[in-house]
Amino acid sequence: MPPSKADRCRLYLISPPAFVLDDFSCQLSAALNAGDVACVQLRLKGVDDDTIRAASAQLIPICHNHGVAFLINDRPDLAADVGADGVHVGANDASYAEARRLVGKKAIVGVSCYNSRHLAIIAGEDGADYIAFGAFFPTSTKQPRVRAEPELLTWWRNSTTVPCVAIGGISVENCGVLIRAGADFLAVISAIWSHPCNPETAVAAFNKEIETQSRTTISA
């Protein structure tokens, strides 16, 4: 089922850019046991298709056993091939129309719109299941194309029923402003997989902060 707007923001986990599959499978299972997670996106750059297929075959059952959607970054053809729940595409990837054609009407197609209201409106009108905005904070995962401001999330939430994902340098310490601004999902990489304790501690901490900020927003 595609992500949808809800009163409570949810976590959207993105895989680290490289990992040992068996080790990561254990980490992912522990993380998903630790608290609410909506989606997991497999984001592997510079690897061959067979590596993505092998990772998907091992990770999809883990996600589905926890009721979590599994998406692939960039590659709608591979998303369809491995039976993923959907795909996420950016400016240099397949178009929304091409991604939708490849994965089908029932799959999730998310679109990166960076800090562009124009791109977001087009993607939303075309039928994207969610729009991703960011980067909101400095990030070491990749060089951000642009910086986005939290007010963009508020504008989007007040303008449409299409969910929005906030991404870029998000941590437990800085996510509050994004939740209060209207993010439906927080896409997180380093703050989960590079947590000084472990990923499950990070997931639990994010969910605690989401609950706290959601109560603050409702009270306000």
The residues annotated as belonging to the active site are 43, 112, 142
What is the biggest distance separating any 2 CA atoms in the chain, rounded to whole angstroms? 50
Q: Are strands 130-133 and 10-14 parallel, antiparallel or unpaired?
A: unpaired
d(CA 166, CA 30): 24
Q: What burial class does residue 90 get, using C-beta atoms within 10 Å of its C-beta: 0-12 exposed, 13-18 middle, 19+ buried?
A: middle
Rounded to 5 degrees, φ, ψ at 200 are -65, -35
d(CA 25, CA 33): 12
